[in-house]
Structure 1
Amino acid sequence: MSDLIPYKKPYQSSTDLCQKLQRDGLIINDVDNARKVLERCSYYRFKAYLIPFRDETTRRYYPDATFDKAHNLYLFDQDLRLLVFKLIQKIEIAVRSSFDYWVTGINKNSFWYLDFSLFNNSDNHIKTVSNVSASFRKSKEEFAKHYKEKYFNEYCPFHRG
């Protein structure tokens, strides 16, 4: 037997949700701003940022817990995610470029990734090449547009993908 239950909670407006948070002990200094925040990012997403400010045994917020503190945590998390994603993109491009430079240098072939003899699992290889090709065809990035306007090859060199 499953412990899952159907979702039956009624709709609550941002005003209702602010009142609920206040009843549970959260200090909200600017209710209008809190309502706007909840409408923009959703109460259910925002609730995760309230966890550090709540005593789970009593299900009440700590005496110094404020909406602003949770909102600042949310904003910090957003900024951190943007920073991390930017860095991940730079790292991915650097690793991919270095790897391609090395493999292309050995094989003297910019299309080395199409050479089945270089890969152990041909089923995975076929799927991967197909996915890469589809992604490249859909790409609206400048390098992809330039390549598609200039060359007729069905596949692009690895360093263009």
Structure 2
Amino acid sequence: MNVYTKPFVSPHDLIHNHLTPKGIIFSAPYGVAEAEEYLSRINWYRFKSYLHPFLVTGTKKYIPGTTFSQGVELYYFDCELRELCNKYILRIEVKAKTILDQIITSFTNDPFWYLCDDYFKDTENLPRLRQKIAGDLSYSRMEFAKYYKANYISPKESWRTSPPFWLAMELMSFDTFVKFANAVDSNKFMYSGKNKLGDAAKQMSAKNYREMISWLLAIKELRNRASHNARTWNSNYRLPSGFVDNKNALVTDSYLTIPPVKKNKIYLILATIKLITDNLIKQRNQFSTELQELLKKYHNHSYILSGMGFPANWTSDPLWNPKN
């Protein structure tokens, strides 16, 4: 373990002593002056990852002809991609919470079902999650929360200060919600040979509850990166089920006809967003249309699609076909 002793490096020194010697070209619209001003607004350790795709493999030199502007354009593409993803993930979050609340509450006839261990297969983390919700309620200044606190208590003796799930889901983060949903035991929701949580999954375009949870876990990872302005476009993500196996071969009844270039990239999560939002939004293929418009805007950068896991002929896959 070494003590970190690297000194501060100014934008001017980064350009003249680091980037230029390694082959970066500074030309309009980002000449030296513009690049220096840009690096005074964007932290170098945030921006440097957007120049990484232009490195010669196995070296610290950049591919001949690489410009600073290319890194800036990739940075802006990632910003727009995050905005697009967040726009639709927020809708998915609202829908998923609503579906789960309505189906489980109606099945159990208990708006406090999330406080009962009998409905869960994994109870280890439940006390902590429940305590967090009760704490969030106690600190909340939202009108509905204040009204509940002033007028009601929970019928659950051990959780008197906890709210019903319909109120709890308005206070909990998407991360907490997915943890609750993942812990639910779907076997406890059988009726007439069918499964109530399977009905919930179909409303989210998934084949079954397990697949829906797989999608939500993957979307949660993407949401965490997008919401915290982290590099999103070529990061690695968990594999959502229903598309390819661990060897990147199409699974039986895959939603795709063409496998991704890489299975652990954002492409498959974008596919799940497309599938889910087609059931949420009146105008089908809206997400697909906006995604294709964004990619066309940056169509000169071939490395973008491959870095995201997109196959070369991805638009010919029926999943993305606007006629569907």
Superposition TM-score, scaled by structure 1 size: 0.82
Structure 2 counterpart of 1:14: 11
Name the CA shift for 1:133/1:33 in 2 (closer, same or farther; >3 Å): farther
Higher helix share: 1
The 5 Å alignment of 1:71-110 reads 71-110=72-111
Change (3 A) 1:138 1:83: farther
1:102 offset after TM fit, Å?
A: 0.5
Q: Distance in 2 between matches of 1:132 and 1:12?
A: 44
Structure 2 residue 152 is matched with structure 1 residue 151: no
2:56 maps to: 55
**Superposition TM-score, scaled by structure 2 size:** 0.44
- After superposition, what is the alpha-carbon deviation per residue over 1:60-104, rounded to whole angstroms, capped at 9, x for unaligned? 222221111101101111111222223222212211211111001
Q: Is 2:23 the partner of 1:25? A: yes
2:23/2:61 contact within 8 Å kept:
yes
User: How many matched pairs?
Assistant: 154
Higher-Rg structure is: 1
**Structure 1 residues 149 and 132 mapped into 2: Cα distance closer, same or farther (>3 Å)?**
closer
What letter corresponds to residue 115 of structure 1 in structure 2?
A: C
CA distance 1:136–1:80, change in 2 (3 Å) = farther
Gaps (5+ residues) in structure 1? none
2: distance between equivalents of 1:59 and 1:101?
55
Identity %: 32
Letter in 2 for 1:23: P
Matching residue of 2:114? 113
Give the aligned residue type for 1:24.
Answer: K
* CA–CA separation in structure 2 for the residues paired with 1:136 and 1:22: 54
Q: Return the alpha-carbon distance in structure 1 between the equivalents of residues 52 and 64 of structure 2.
A: 14
Deviation readout 1:94-116 (Å, 9 max, x if unpaired): 11211111001112222221223
CA distance, structure 2, for counterparts of residue 60 and residue 119 of structure 1: 53
* Structure-2 separation of matches of 1:58 and 1:115: 57
Which residue type is aligned with residue 23 of structure 2?
G
User: Matched residues in 2 for 1:138 and 1:28: separation?
Assistant: 51
CA positional deviation for 1:8 = 2.5
Which residue matches 2:2? 5
Q: Is 42-51 or 78-87 further displaced after alignment?
A: 78-87
* Unaligned segments of structure 2, at least 5 residues: 154-160, 170-324
Match of 1:124 in 2: 125
Deviation at 1:52, TM superposition (A): 1.4
Q: Please give the alpha-carbon distance, in whole angstroms, between the structure 1 residues aligned to 2:138 and 2:115.
A: 16
Give the alignment's Cα RMSD to 1 decimal: 2.1
Give, as a single letter, the amino acid of the residue that structure 1 aligns with 2:115: L
Residues 148 and 81 (structure 1 numbering): CA distance in 2 closer, same or farther, change over 3 Å?
A: same
